[in-house]
Structure 1
């Protein structure tokens, strides 16, 4: 079997193409396309997205990247594309915004979308490797401290998992991993669980932080500021995806490896392996956009007080709007920024050969520089 040429970013490995990347015009998906082109500039890549007007590569430079406007919840359309493309590798990264969507949308896009991708992969019979973009939240109730969580932690179901986005992600991941080798085509599957992704092309998370800082809220801190977080720079995130794909392609058609080294049927945490204090992250962004916050200017609101105020505000809003109103700073949101949330990525380092190439500070510098240059574009 021929292998892809070696480069500084990825080891040599079996050819991945043709490749499908769902959500390939989105934040993570577009970076995944970039990484695949680093691996092989001539790789046949088909991007499936509901909006194909953003984050496209230059067609004159990469005519091998083809864009298809399609909704992953449209089963017939997905199957038709698979039958035409006949992919060997599928990266399923498409996902709606985790905030502000209804359960119906999460179920349709995340769960039904994943089922459509699985169904098409099995129907076409050419898919050897299926890599799912999950979330580290599948093991977290989002209100308790999460300290050094690894992949042995159980995936939470309702009622312990109350976030509909995460609940649907967990269900999709479980179904995808259960299909590994349990199909007529021998397709191998794996799941990547990034933690708090940041980087270029992110207007959502970074945009909210920048907006808050510009409104003068960068000085405020809820809680004692000692809560650690595991973040992941987006280029490191997609490195984990590509490395996993290489491992699956290398294992396809062969007997399973030992349980302590195999990649197929497994989930992998991906982080920057460099935990930061949550509020240091916010203040690093403030400094990088030219609005630094001095230590003596930080205004601390005790966590208990912030949570009490949020609960009171939620109750008043519910009463006044008859349950129809929604707040941005809810009890859950306040709690989320005052807890510890750290994860271990030793499994990815050992089995995938993963190593974060870009550190936290450099990643934030790249992300904020891109944001400032593009926010008015």
Structure 2
């Protein structure tokens, strides 16, 4: 697939464009010459954190997904185009925060998705593809009564695919699952060319340091202990540039009405992930090996933690050729380097001080 020829001068609308994955997607779209429309949450300062370097090359729309009027106003600019791609990445995306701010999470992730879809219908926009970004958290833990519905790999580990049962265990996961269903509802009812994607645990530069990878790195850069919560869960960690390519492949080659899941294709316990990050950082001279301390207050509430996530991305690979390119150690090194050289971008956002 020639991304350049598929995207050059093509209108692309991105929600959450100034966020972690959204900003990396904007980087790639600008590089490929797309006509980028970035929908960012309006603030009193109007400051862009991650895409300000592109402010002269893109069209910025400031609004709020929860406010349909501002969504309508932004989407008006797509009138008259029939080849527009819409990437819906805007969300309250932190699992822990979804327990502290459940109403905002539901409003943003469910009502925000509904507003976006309904606005496209109300404005009678002719779009080429609408991609809603879901999450691996929607799968949750395997229920005993649903074991026979799951697939397993050669090591008897649950392999999660588009066919796997879902069992969300947090407000965040439930809200994202609802957004997925809404996206499919609008395909069924109105024929909107929608797809849903579930990325497995993206990490990389610019991620909020409250997520596990940034939490480990920022503590290691600043002090000689790293305080963490539950280290037994296993996650399928996928570097952000691979995640962005996944979105582009699905949007350009995916089948409307279908779901696509993808990640690294291997998982790792959070203990091993922590150890690997600290080893890589030590090898490259960022720190001496800090002590790892578990803090019960950092555990998720009750039984809401997901024990293990591992993706089978065969469908996306077979239909588009996508596969991850960045190894864990290479991705970790690039991520550490960004945090080490951009302290101003994260220092006031950590939750461990």
What TM bracket, shorter-length normalisation?
Answer: 0.7 to 0.9
Equivalents in 1 of 2:276, 2:311: separation in Å?
A: 21
The answer for the alignment partner of 1:237 in structure 2 is 243
Equivalent of 1:100, from 86, 90, 97?
97
Superposition map of 1:70-89 within 5 A = 70-86=63-79, 88-89=84-85
Q: 1:117 to 1:283 in 2, by over 3 A?
A: same
3-state SS, counterpart of residue 48 of structure 1? strand
Asked if the contact 1:89/1:127 (under 8 Å) is kept, the reply is: yes
The alpha-carbon deviation at position 84 of structure 1 amounts to 2.6
Tell me how far apart the structure 1 counterparts of residues 303 and 239 of structure 2 sit (CA, whole Å). Answer: 22
Q: Residues of 1 paired with 2:108 and 2:185: CA distance?
A: 20
Structure 1 residue 123: deviation in Å? 2.2
Q: Gapped runs of 5+ residues in structure 2?
A: 148-156, 346-353
What is the CA-CA distance between 1:218 and the residue it aligns to?
4.6
Q: 1:115 to 1:298 in 2, by over 3 A?
A: closer
1:46 equivalent in alignment to 2:37: yes
Instruction: Describe how 1:130-149 pairs up with structure 2 within 5 A.
Output: 130-141=130-141, 147-149=158-160
**2:250–2:260: 8 Å Cα contact kept in structure 1?**
no
Q: 2:27 aligns with which of 9, 22, 34?
A: 34
3-state SS of 2:241 partner: helix
Q: Which residue pairs with 2:253 in the alignment?
A: 247
8 Å contact from structure 1 (residues 269, 344) kept in 2: yes
Other-structure match for 2:197? 192
Q: Secondary structure of 1:182's partner?
A: helix
Bigger Rg, which one:
1
Aligned equivalents of 1:335 and 1:21: distance in 2?
30
**Equivalent-residue separation in structure 2 for 1:202 and 1:279 (angstroms):** 20
Change (3 A) 1:375 1:298: closer
User: 2: CA distance between counterparts of 1:181 and 1:128?
Assistant: 16
User: Is 1:353 aligned to 2:353, yes or no?
Assistant: no
Could you list the per-position Cα deviations for residues 14-43 of structure 1 after superposition, in whole angstroms to 9, with x for gaps in the alignment?
7683111000000010011112223x32x2
Structure 1 pair 14/348, CA: closer, same or farther in 2 (3 Å)? same
* Aligned-partner Cα distance in 2 for 1:219–1:104: 29
Q: How does 1:192-271 map to 2 (within 5 A)?
A: 192-204=197-209, 205=211, 206-213=213-220, 215-218=223-226, 228-248=234-254, 263-271=255-263
How do 1:281-320 residues align onto structure 2 when only pairs under 5 Å count? Answer: 281-290=273-282, 291=287, 293=289, 310=296
- CA distance in 2 between counterparts of 1:350 and 1:180 reads 23
Cα separation, 1, equivalents of 2:313 and 2:261: 5
Change (3 A) 1:14 1:31: closer
Deviations 1:106-144 (A, max 9, x none): 111000000011011122222221011110111214999
TM-score by length of 1: 0.74
> Which of 149, 153, 178 pairs up with 1:171?
178
Q: Deviations over 1:47-70 (max 9, x none)?
A: 0111551111534xx744111221
Q: Distance in 1 between matches of 2:230 and 2:216?
A: 14
- 1:342 is matched with which residue: 279, 297, 310? 310
Match of 1:120 in 2: 119
Tell me the secondary structure at the aligned position of residue 13 of structure 2: strand
After superposition, the Cα gap between the structure-2 partners of 1:171 and 1:361, relative to the gap in structure 1 and judged at 3 Å, is: same
Instruction: Label 1:346 to 1:288 Cα distance change in 2 as closer, same or farther (>3 A).
Output: same
Distance, in Å, in 2 between the alignment partners of 1:229 and 1:165 is: 17
Q: Does the C-alpha gap of structure 1 residues 73 and 228 become closer, same or farther in structure 2, counting only changes over 3 Å?
A: closer
Paired residue for 2:87? 91
TM-superposition CA deviations, 1:259-300 (whole Å, max 9, x none): xxxx22122112122433432211222133334549xx889x
| Counterpart residue number, 1:372 | 340
In the aligned structure 2, how far is the partner of 1:333 from the partner of 1:284?
27
Contact kept? 1:221, 1:279, Cα under 8 Å: no
CA contact (8 A) 1:92 1:132 kept: yes
Deviation at 1:341, TM superposition (A): 2.2
Alpha-carbon distance between aligned partners in 1 of 2:131 and 2:300, rounded to the nearest angstrom: 34
Preserved CA contact (<8 Å) 1:129 1:188: yes
